[in-house]
Structure 1
Amino acid sequence: MAGEGEDGSDAYDFIVTGAGSAGCAVAARLSESGRHRVLLLEAGDRDTYPWIHVPLGYHKTFVNPKVNWMFESEPEAELNGRVLYQPRGKVLGGTSSINGMVYMRGTPADYDGWRQSGCEGWDWDSVLPFFRKAQDQARGESEHHGVGGPLRVTDHRWKPPLAEALVEASIQAGIPANPDFNGPRQEGVGYYQTTIGDGRRWSAARAYLRDARGRRNLTVATGAHATRLLIEQGRAVGVEYRQKGAVRTARARREIVVSGGVYGSPQLLLLSGIGPADHLRDKGVAVLHDLPGVGANLHDHFNTYVSFRCATPVTMNDLALSLPKRIAAAAQYAIGRTGPLASMGLFVGAMVRSDPRFEWPDLQINMFAWSTKERLRTGIVPHPFSAFSISPVHLRPDGRGTVRLKSPDPTAPPEIRFNFLKSEEDFRALTYGIRLSREIARQPALKDYVVEEVAPGPAVETDAQLRDDIRARAISNYHPVGTCRMGRGTDAVVDPQLRVHGIAGLRVADASIMPSIVAGNTNAPAIMIGEKAADMILRAAAS
């Protein structure tokens, strides 16, 4: 439902580009009162692909171009020139429709650090209400959790014996038990909560758009790729987008919210002439507004894997290798929405400090009920035997990279450079994590499961050997942030109200605005950013 602009184009009060974790929340909240006409543009299609909704369907969406942008980085100098695969959702729900569904917020210190860097209103006490507002917590309401929100947050329906053994082994290794990583403290070992409801993936699209799409004042346009922002006299007034082979234009009476994610948001700004002037000129894009920070500050968690051959056939590898087991799992899921298909195989994790002098965890130890030979653009290839993995993730990397245009063609993928492993601390933390993973595997609770370490292998022991292995095997943890950094400095892109510096009527709302990455998975924080952005926009509209 739209009005008509003076030039005959469709006119709305608000336009949101990108229906990902944040964009779905923004569009749903802006349209909630019925007073504002809202257009939500999504380059991908509707989330009708069945495997999106089955939690273990993660492996089916990981390399599917119908629902995944399947980006790649440029060769990474510190990783032996390797190219890193970057799966990103190209579908309603964005990456929340293809991710691992772990619900994690980070630590209060992460957000207090944002505030201390000049981002007023983003300290822990200010963001917690929006985490709670979004949430429908299966454990009930508390100081830290909310109920009645659109996003289902639940405990695992199915906890296999291997997961229980991993928790016990971690405790035996000296890691304290933690029943809630989003509660009073983050440090410890326990079961992850997930964005799964009734045994089904609870993406941002399911959470925010399932009911909202019936509103007459919300238009959700799929297959609609935003290609350029229209700027007139220093104000964003519209969006040009491609849909079904045609170039269309929509006008915004109030504001445009860019929610294309850590790669899509800076790319759209750059295509519109907003970004580092020299880079824009080099790519043949007319400079509209010289904003050096656009596409800078890219960073991500970084991880490696320690894999172990399992003595009993209880892993996800065994499921992949056995047709009878797959048939049994399908029946179990169809009848009761439980069993292996109701999970993606990541039940347990630990948040630890690699140095006792640190105040907060800097490592996340993910414990997978599967192991792989490789996880590349070509697919997830499991080891051809029963095995599981313990994966140390460095939560506070020092390296910073960029997102740039490869060409002025809006359909071309962006140029992605991470610059991982740029400090000794990056190596030291991961080396500690590998050794801690091995220590967990040596505990009595895993005695009946561990046969041998298969990767990197017991021969890889010295610091130099571990460093070489990290260079050869470690990968991005698929939590990229920061490319439209919030702040007040000359290298910031948006202010604490998420307004783009120097352009009126334009905001960015997604994980790209994070000045620094949080300690944990990034989907819940991205949804919080969408909730908070909508609140700020509505307050401004009412004033």
Structure 2
Amino acid sequence: MRAANVTSQQNQYDYIVVGGGSAGSIVAARLAEEGAGSVLLLECGDAGDKHPETLTEDGFKYAFANDDLMFHRMSAPQEGCGGRKLFLGTGRGMGGSGAVNGMVYTRGDKRDFERWPKGWHYDDLVPHFEAVEKRIGIRPRVPTPFAQRFIDASVSAGFTRKDGMNDGELGGVVGCNDMNYDESGRRSSYRAWLHERQVPNLQIVTNASVRRLVFGDSQRAVGVECEIEGQIKTFDVSKEVVLCAGALETPKILMLSGVGPRQEIEAQRIRLIKDIPGVGQHLHDHPNVCVFYRAEQPVDFKYPQLYGFDAARRPAHAQTNEAPDTCFVCFAAPGTLHQSMHRMVPLIALPGPLYKLGFLRSFYRVLIDLAFKLPWLQRYVSTVFGIVVILGKPDSRGSIGLNSADPAAPARIDPAYFKSPRDRETLLAGIAKARQIAEQPALAQAGAKPLSLGGTNASEEKIWKWATAATMTTFHFCGSCRMGDDVDSPVDTKLRVKGLRNVRVADASVMPEIPVSALNAPSMMIGYRAANFILEGKSS
């Protein structure tokens, strides 16, 4: 990465961007490129070149399994998931979650944005999406024979074939989704805006864990305090701080800085800067379950390229165009199951503090590696696929709070999965639709046999009991610092934190309602637009 023309001894900057992920890479690069002033980008993880798998087209599965590239977080016990604590990891290091995800690029359905504030509806956002897409490049993959079987089965179950899926119309469609990649590797925002170019007036400091924003006598941020190699250092800021740390970290940083709900802040004896009750509230995510099958032939694709979107209760072949509330993804076990087990098995087998012991994690991963060398297991896994049912428009809302004034202590994160009865109904309808897809001739002729839930006669209660035990996150956290004109939204429509003079938020935490699709594309769009707001204000 070639990005610094500012000496490392510099302590004061015009702008400080916190977080080098999907949005932060764009904000920092654009402010520096377009002459807004000196810019400091603080990233808590490693430089991109330290982990080459974050830059390659095929490296996503290895990145997901790399402990250095994901935060280790567990949720509060989830009543809707049998009291379990769920893994809530997100990407860390340059590129953030955009460096470890499956490179899926979807803007969302037009109707996803109808409840966003004025100026943020789909037609308002198209130029900003297009600007991002021009820089990173997007395209779908050509379906393999087995991938085509899944598409054909979905069409038989009432879906319409559509590849790309970035025209804002996602109701009842299935196909090969757009992805941000090319022949040379992953096209994350970090790679497109920072890694490939020299950016003047930009200093990037990695392995810098932000502890808090520093405020003067007014509600104006004057610096950012962080920990670098065990030392506490404060960087001064003269114009703005832009928080791009993600929906689980940004509200935590604000509360540690004294900005947020009074009771959360004063309970930890932190000096209150601004009482903003909405900080950390309205958290939501896409929970999912995967219905597994085994075919008689090997599954011949390895990327998360096959997507369907639908209203879960829509009857097959009905002519209505309802807004989609569920996403269906065909998961190929041969391509990613080995590395997914590297990540998930230690989490399940080593609860609490035991997980922190690296030698125990390594022990389980060695066992997994040995198991995957067994020829019979390789043959078995080569034929396994799943249909991931994602609750795309959850009704439930959760929250984030502080457990401690210590920045190193984990936040209290409650995604409140299935708190709303409507979410249970939608997920059950989505599971039924996934099973209908698997029963269509195109997959039945491939010998697809269920490994989850057995035959078609399982009771609703049995299915729900399985679902509560199988639910996991899709890592699409948002809404915890939502923007809006209403008094309950802590961020305004130009992404400024209300009541503060020079702090903005530019990441998925500002989304007032989650799109039905993946959040990487909207997050990059938000970063692009945040830079526009700052640059427009500078010139006005």
Q: TM-score, normalised by structure 1?
A: 0.86
**Residues 1:360 and 2:323 aligned together:** yes
Cα deviation for residue 448 of structure 1 reads 3.5
Greater CA drift, 353-362 or 21-30: 353-362
Q: Is the Cα contact below 8 Å between 2:312 and 2:433 reproduced in 1? A: no
AA partner of residue 145 (structure 2): P
What count of residue pairs does the alignment treat as equivalent?
Answer: 494
Identical aligned residues as a percent: 34
Cα deviation for residue 34 of structure 1 reads 3.2
Cα 1:468–1:67 shift into 2, 3 Å: same
Cα deviation for residue 209 of structure 1 reads 0.7
Aligned to 1:159: 143
AA partner of residue 208 (structure 2): A
Aligned to 1:441: 438
AA partner of residue 132 (structure 2): A
**Residues 1:134 and 2:151 aligned together:** no
Q: Is the Cα contact below 8 Å between 1:274 and 1:288 reproduced in 2? A: yes
Aligned with 1:220 (options 160, 182, 204)? 204
Aligned to 1:468: 465
Aligned to 1:392: 389
Cα deviation for residue 9 of structure 1 reads 6.9
What does 1:417-432 correspond to in 2, within 5 Å? 417-432=414-429
Structure 1 segments unaligned to the other structure (5+ residues): 136-148, 316-339
Counting strand residues as a fraction of each chain, which structure ranks higher? 1
Cα deviation for residue 111 of structure 1 reads 1.8
Cα deviation for residue 3 of structure 1 reads 9.3
Aligned with 1:69 (options 71, 81, 84)? 71
1:187-207 deviation per Cα after TM superposition (whole angstroms, max 9, x unaligned): 211111111121511122101
AA partner of residue 69 (structure 2): V
Greater CA drift, 54-63 or 525-534: 54-63
1:228-257 deviation per Cα after TM superposition (whole angstroms, max 9, x unaligned): 101121111211111122211212221110
AA partner of residue 23 (structure 2): A
AA partner of residue 42 (structure 1): E
1:449-482 deviation per Cα after TM superposition (whole angstroms, max 9, x unaligned): 2341001322762222222111111222110101
Aligned to 1:481: 478
Cα deviation for residue 360 of structure 1 reads 0.8
**Residues 1:171 and 2:139 aligned together:** no
1:337-383 deviation per Cα after TM superposition (whole angstroms, max 9, x unaligned): xxx6xxx5322111111234773111111111228596726379798
Instruction: Provide the alpha-carbon RMSD of the alignment.
Output: 2.2
Cα 1:71–1:469 shift into 2, 3 Å: same
AA partner of residue 425 (structure 1): R
Cα deviation for residue 488 of structure 1 reads 2.7
Cα deviation for residue 53 of structure 1 reads 2.7
1:382-402 deviation per Cα after TM superposition (whole angstroms, max 9, x unaligned): 985320001111111111111
Query: Aligned to 1:436, what secondary structure does the other structure show?
Result: helix
What does 1:245-394 correspond to in 2, within 5 Å? 245-314=230-299, 344-356=302-314, 359-370=322-333, 376=344, 378=346, 385=381, 386-394=383-391
Residues in 2 aligned to 1:243 and 1:234: alpha-carbon distance in whole angstroms: 26
Cα deviation for residue 310 of structure 1 reads 1.6
AA partner of residue 119 (structure 2): G
Greater CA drift, 523-532 or 170-179: 170-179
Aligned to 1:24: 25
Q: Is the Cα contact below 8 Å between 1:162 and 1:369 reproduced in 2? A: no
Cα deviation for residue 96 of structure 1 reads 0.2
Residues in 2 aligned to 1:377 and 1:276: alpha-carbon distance in whole angstroms: 36
AA partner of residue 128 (structure 1): V
Q: Is the Cα contact below 8 Å between 2:36 and 2:535 reproduced in 1? A: no
Aligned to 1:43: 44
Q: Is the Cα contact below 8 Å between 1:292 and 1:490 reproduced in 2? A: no
Query: Aligned to 2:281, what secondary structure does the other structure show?
Result: coil
Residues in 1 aligned to 2:459 and 2:321: alpha-carbon distance in whole angstroms: 24
Cα deviation for residue 184 of structure 1 reads 5.4
Aligned to 2:512: 515
Residues in 1 aligned to 2:296 and 2:7: alpha-carbon distance in whole angstroms: 65
Query: Aligned to 1:465, what secondary structure does the other structure show?
Result: helix
Residues in 1 aligned to 2:457 and 2:513: alpha-carbon distance in whole angstroms: 33
Residues in 2 aligned to 1:249 and 1:369: alpha-carbon distance in whole angstroms: 46
Query: Aligned to 1:186, what secondary structure does the other structure show?
Result: coil
**Residues 1:413 and 2:415 aligned together:** no
Cα deviation for residue 436 of structure 1 reads 1.3
Cα deviation for residue 2 of structure 1 reads 5.4
Q: Is the Cα contact below 8 Å between 1:441 and 1:450 reproduced in 2? A: no
Cα deviation for residue 412 of structure 1 reads 2.1
Aligned to 2:120: 122
Cα deviation for residue 542 of structure 1 reads 1.2
Q: Is the Cα contact below 8 Å between 2:98 and 2:520 reproduced in 1? A: yes
AA partner of residue 47 (structure 1): G
Aligned to 1:11: 12
What does 1:484-495 correspond to in 2, within 5 Å? 484-495=481-492
Cα deviation for residue 284 of structure 1 reads 2.5
Query: Aligned to 1:134, what secondary structure does the other structure show?
Result: helix
**Residues 1:452 and 2:449 aligned together:** yes
1:57-101 deviation per Cα after TM superposition (whole angstroms, max 9, x unaligned): 323222322111122111101111111112211110100000111
1:7-46 deviation per Cα after TM superposition (whole angstroms, max 9, x unaligned): x971111110001111011111111123511111101111
Aligned to 2:178: 193
Greater CA drift, 348-357 or 481-490: 348-357
AA partner of residue 500 (structure 1): V
AA partner of residue 130 (structure 1): H
Aligned to 2:165: 181
Q: TM-score, normalised by structure 2?
A: 0.87
AA partner of residue 124 (structure 1): Y
Query: Aligned to 1:531, what secondary structure does the other structure show?
Result: helix
AA partner of residue 481 (structure 1): C
Cα 1:310–1:369 shift into 2, 3 Å: same
Q: Is the Cα contact below 8 Å between 1:363 and 1:433 reproduced in 2? A: yes
1:290-313 deviation per Cα after TM superposition (whole angstroms, max 9, x unaligned): 111111111011211111012112
Query: Aligned to 2:249, what secondary structure does the other structure show?
Result: helix
AA partner of residue 35 (structure 2): G
Residues in 2 aligned to 1:443 and 1:281: alpha-carbon distance in whole angstroms: 58
Cα 1:367–1:314 shift into 2, 3 Å: closer
What does 1:49-88 correspond to in 2, within 5 Å? 49-88=51-90
Cα 1:132–1:314 shift into 2, 3 Å: same
Residues in 2 aligned to 1:460 and 1:278: alpha-carbon distance in whole angstroms: 50
